Amino acid sequence: MSEEKGQKRGEFIAICSAKGGVGRTLLTVNLAVALCKKNIRISVLDGDFQFGDVSLAMDLQSTFTIKDVIQELNRLDEYTLASYLSHHESGVKVLSAPEQPEYADLVTEEALEKIIPLMLTQNEYTIADTGVGLTDKSLSLLEKADQILLVTNLEMATLKNTKLMLETLDKLELRDKVRLVVNRATMESVIQAADVPDILGEEDPIYIPNDFQISSQSLNIGIPFVINQGKTELAKSIFKMAEQISSRREITMIKKKEPSFLTKMFNRKRVKEGTE
């Protein structure tokens, strides 16, 4: 996404998968809370516009959804948008998905192009959960993302479809932004987690351990496990992922902040010559 000159904007992370039920929502809410615990401003966009369940996973009774935002689109600025977000006690703010699947059609490209940059001006990160696979809507979110977390597990069908999705993302020139996440990596399975990089041609995935009891309890009671199960291996893996993501941003910010000597000289010359 293009950056307005001189305006700081946050990073947009999209969490996607080729198959449903692999843990996108669980990872979205826990990553968001983990980043928030590091005093980073975070918002979540529930981009599973038909069957979004981020609010449920965080036990939020959302007064507004993206549908209400879209009705205000012409008058929307960052402050009005902020008033439509639900506030979780952790500090994470959520723009919920519409309450009925048929309203997903209201979420047009034009709406997303207006809403997402406004979310990014107010937050250091905006994390989008997405619908399954490569629909128009999820692709639109992936195109706008700075980073794509592609979630897989060790099941044959998921791996097959993840491979196809990677190939398509490659054709669309989006693969460079992808980081693979192998969820339930310690699950007993014919395919071992260590085989996944070779199978999918993705080096250095992020591995999240298997813990169905904590995962399902977390989703069912609506408390992200990084809040109340912080000492478990599952939570530790999310904190580690949050650390990797935020340190990567610090590095790119430092790089951006310090233009090279030549760039500085060139800009000075242009200013002098009145080209700016």
Ligand X SMILES: Nc1ncnc2c1ncn2[C@@H]1O[C@H](COP(=O)(O)OP(=O)(O)O)[C@@H](O)[C@H]1O
* Residues ≥6 apart with Cβ < 8 Å to 97: 46, 47, 48, 49, 50, 51, 52, 53, 54, 55, 65, 66, 104
24 or 67: CB nearest ligand X = 24
Binding site for Mg ion (CB under 5 A): 24-25
Query: Binds 23, which of ligand X, Mg ion, none (CB < 5 to 8 A, cut-off by type)?
Result: ligand X
Nearest-approach distance from CB 24 to Mg ion, in angstroms: 5
132 or 200: CB nearest Mg ion = 132
212 or 266: CB nearest ligand X = 212
Nearest-approach distance from CB 23 to Mg ion, in angstroms: 8
Strands (E), 82-124: 86-87, 93-95
Nearest-approach distance from CB 21 to ligand X, in angstroms: 4
* Residues ≥6 apart with Cβ < 8 Å to 167: none
Half-sphere exposure of 173 (CA within 13 A, CB side): 1
* C-alpha distances in Å from residue 208, one per residue of 66, 105, 111, 170: 30, 33, 34, 24
Query: Binds 54, which of ligand X, Mg ion, none (CB < 5 to 8 A, cut-off by type)?
Result: none
Nearest-approach distance from CB 235 to ligand X, in angstroms: 11
Burial class (CB in 10 A: 0-12, 13-18, 19+), 270: exposed
Query: Binds 210, which of Mg ion, ligand X, none (CB < 5 to 8 A, cut-off by type)?
Result: ligand X
Nearest-approach distance from CB 248 to ligand X, in angstroms: 22
81 or 193: CB nearest ligand X = 193
10 or 47: CB nearest ligand X = 47
* C-alpha distances in Å from residue 235, one per residue of 89, 110, 188, 192, 224: 18, 37, 20, 21, 9
Query: Binds 51, which of Mg ion, ligand X, none (CB < 5 to 8 A, cut-off by type)?
Result: none
* C-alpha distances in Å from residue 182, one per residue of 49, 150, 169, 207, 236: 24, 8, 18, 5, 15
Binding site for ligand X (CB under 6 A): 17, 20-26, 183-184, 208, 210-212, 215-216, 219, 234
Query: Binds 184, which of Mg ion, ligand X, none (CB < 5 to 8 A, cut-off by type)?
Result: ligand X
Nearest-approach distance from CB 197 to ligand X, in angstroms: 19
Query: Binds 182, which of Mg ion, ligand X, none (CB < 5 to 8 A, cut-off by type)?
Result: none
22 or 118: CB nearest Mg ion = 22
CA distance 14 to 69: 20
